[in-house]
Amino acid sequence: MSVVVLGRNGQVARSLRERLPDALFLGREQLDLEDLEGIEDRIVAERPSFIINAAAYTAVDKAEEDVERAWRVNAHAVKAVAAAARSLAVPLLHLSTDYVFSGKGFAPYGEADPPEPLSQYGGSKLAGEREVLAGSGACHYVLRTSWVFSEFGSNFVRTMLELGATRDSLRIVADQYGRPTYAGDVADVVAAMLARWQAGHPLESGCYHFASEGVTSWYQFALAIFEDAGNLGLIERLPLVEPIATADYPTPAPRPLRSVLDTRRLESALSWQPRPWREGLGTALNALVATPRSPGHSDEAPGATRSASPPPAALPMKRSTSATAQAEERFLVFGAPQIEEEDIAEVVACLRSGWLGTGPRVAQFEAAFRAYRGAQHAVAVNSCSAALHVSLLASGLEPGDEVITSAMTFCATVNAIVHAGLVPVLADIDPVTMNLDPADVRKKLTARTRALLPVHFAGRPCDMRALCVIADQHELKVIEDCAHAIEATFDGQAVGTFGEAGCFSFYVTKNITTGEGGMVLLKDAAAQARIKTLALNGLSKDAWNRFGADGYAHYDVMESGFKYNMTDMAAALGLRQLGRIEASWQRRQAIWEQYQQAFADLPVTRPAEPDANMRHAYHLFPILVEEAHCGLSRDRFIALMTARGVGVGVHYRSLPEHPYFRRRFGWQPENYPHASHIGRSTVSLPLSAGMSGEDVARVIAAVVEIVSPAAAVRSSM
């Protein structure tokens, strides 16, 4: 079998050369796509059994002037390529772009969404797509991707490195959002599609979307480039990067503001999980370290202009001694959120829009979070407590039904069960994982048990395999409390998608924050509709529908509901936080690993490492401080940490320790020995993506200074 690839030196073509060494690559010297009359004959002469078109005119701004050339290469030449494929009756795979969309919508674009290009480049690429889909015959594929970068050629990453090496400051557009995608990952997908065809199991003809995991802005992308390049030594100093609006950086070709691609169709067809774009960035930068090149300039860098007078303090890469001294003096707040300039800019933009309540940003946040977790439906609410409450109400449970949950969780978990008219039943936790113990769950089953409410404590997934077996055997509903576990997976499946509902928290201390907020993920459309009604006073229409541009719409009160809806101001913050969730996860993972190593020889119990079949969300780093081992009590340890300027948390005292629950349900701590023991000795150390290396060092130093002397005194007694 012979494969012909049109294009040789572009980013994806270069990457394909490494993956398809036996393919014939036709660059401009071998096949000039501007010579329309010779294209079909040249391809047919090679007698390929599979054609990949990775060639294109990609100068977005120049295309506004050089219209004829852009359309000749991106549309008319593609028509000739499609004719060659039809003549040979062979498959054609054509690469395209997210710029076929306007970016005016809030939800990620699926393959069936109507294109609306804003530029000549986007229009010419769309015309080429239509030639492939209508005129190529046999199998034909259009593979759209977005914000492609690599170590090769001209692209945003290499442009940023070039400008960052020569300029003191840069101004980068912060209100355009997409999914940066490493060219090598695109090449991997192309190779996988080819392999499926070779194996006799080709994908269905048509259009597919592929992009790396995660949504970000050009501004945040630039910050990540400089951070990672600085750590690798690719750039000697970090320029000041300032966010600007698209309106402040006019370009000949308008860009889509939100060209986020929905990639679920391809992921399902290939059983493919895109890796985070930050990982692809690391691959590209490491390749540049291994084979240094002079970064080339690209027309595709949106808004890279010199600042007139950058503040000198922004120029050095390392902090000054005085800055370090100031950091040592300030109190390190436990769970302080990481708030970036793009977060502030998006909230300000929301305020200026005039739409502050539930509206377009909430809809966009729901769609983005649903896509991130791979769920079918999502409803944004104003807290995880609200999410749990309405999920239980919408689950079909009857008053008096029993719900089994963890004995060590925040009181909101049980409060939601009580407010739903149900009966909470506690099961003890596993002393190693600190999660709900399936064996004890079985002991607590009764004839009235109707649901399980597992809590993914500290970000570690529960044993969902065992719990789902119990649920299936006894026909129980499963409502997941995922307040700590936004990024977590178990057996490759996102937590929050195992049962009827998954409830998430965006409280200020959580892995992403909306100030206050929550989300429900659901499998059932009817449950989604009821939760939307319950969350807005039982109304049949929310404010977005009632007060939209189409005019006022009357509503009906369907049932007695609650005021649980999320606001657009909260969603504005959440959208930007979600865009860098993977980078934040990587930072918390690094801090977790530093803590594990630093405390390995101390007489404290460290959290268990995640099993191979799970992804830990690294929300909390709880240690057990036991006087018998350390020589001081947990509360004394907390007082000493606070005296050193380090805030800590307690997650949690077991629920039977609280007077109300003892009075109401007769729960006694001794009946839940693991939860009670851990709840009396647990301390959570700071674990935030916003922590600097100095912050982490302060925490480690404080723990070592406090525990080591106390343990030494204890051992000498």
Instruction: Just list the catalytic residues.
Output: 510
The residues with which 305 forms a beta bridge, in sequence order, are: 171
Helix axes 36-46, 77-88, angle to 10 degrees: 30
Could you tell me whether strands 169-173 and 305-306 are parallel, antiparallel, or unpaired per DSSP bridges? Answer: antiparallel
Which position has the token pair 């393959």? 111
Backbone torsions φ then ψ of 644, nearest 5 degrees: -90, 10
The residues with which 216 forms a beta bridge, in sequence order, are: 178
Neighbours of 690 (CB within 10 A): 16
Computed on alpha carbons and rounded to an integer, the radius of gyration of the chain in Å comes to 28
Tokens of 530: 């009821």
Answer whether the bond into residue 652 is a cis peptide, omega within 30°. yes
Which position has the token pair 């692209």? 155
Contacts 24+ apart (CB under 8 A), 290-295: 291/151, 293/151, 293/158, 294/162, 295/158, 295/159, 295/161, 295/162, 295/165
CA distance 407 to 502: 19
Provide the strand spans (E) within 153-231. Answer: 169-173, 177-178, 181-182, 206-209, 216-217
CA distance 420 to 531: 13
> Which residues, 6 or more positions from 335, have their beta carbon under 8 angstroms from its beta carbon?
508, 509, 647, 649, 686, 688
Q: Please state the length of the chain.
A: 717
Torsion of CA 490, 493, 497, 498, to 10 degrees: -60
| Contact assessment for residue 203 and residue 340, using Cβ atoms and an 8 Å cutoff | no
CA distance 399 to 140: 56
Neighbours of 22 (CB within 10 A): 7
| Contact assessment for residue 46 and residue 102, using Cβ atoms and an 8 Å cutoff | no
- The dihedral sign for the CA sequence 417, 418, 420, 425: positive
| Contact assessment for residue 76 and residue 223, using Cβ atoms and an 8 Å cutoff | no
| Contact assessment for residue 52 and residue 16, using Cβ atoms and an 8 Å cutoff | yes
> Which residues, 6 or more positions from 68, have their beta carbon under 8 angstroms from its beta carbon?
none
Which position has the token pair 């799970």? 614
Residue type, 376: Q
Backbone torsions φ then ψ of 614, nearest 5 degrees: -140, 160
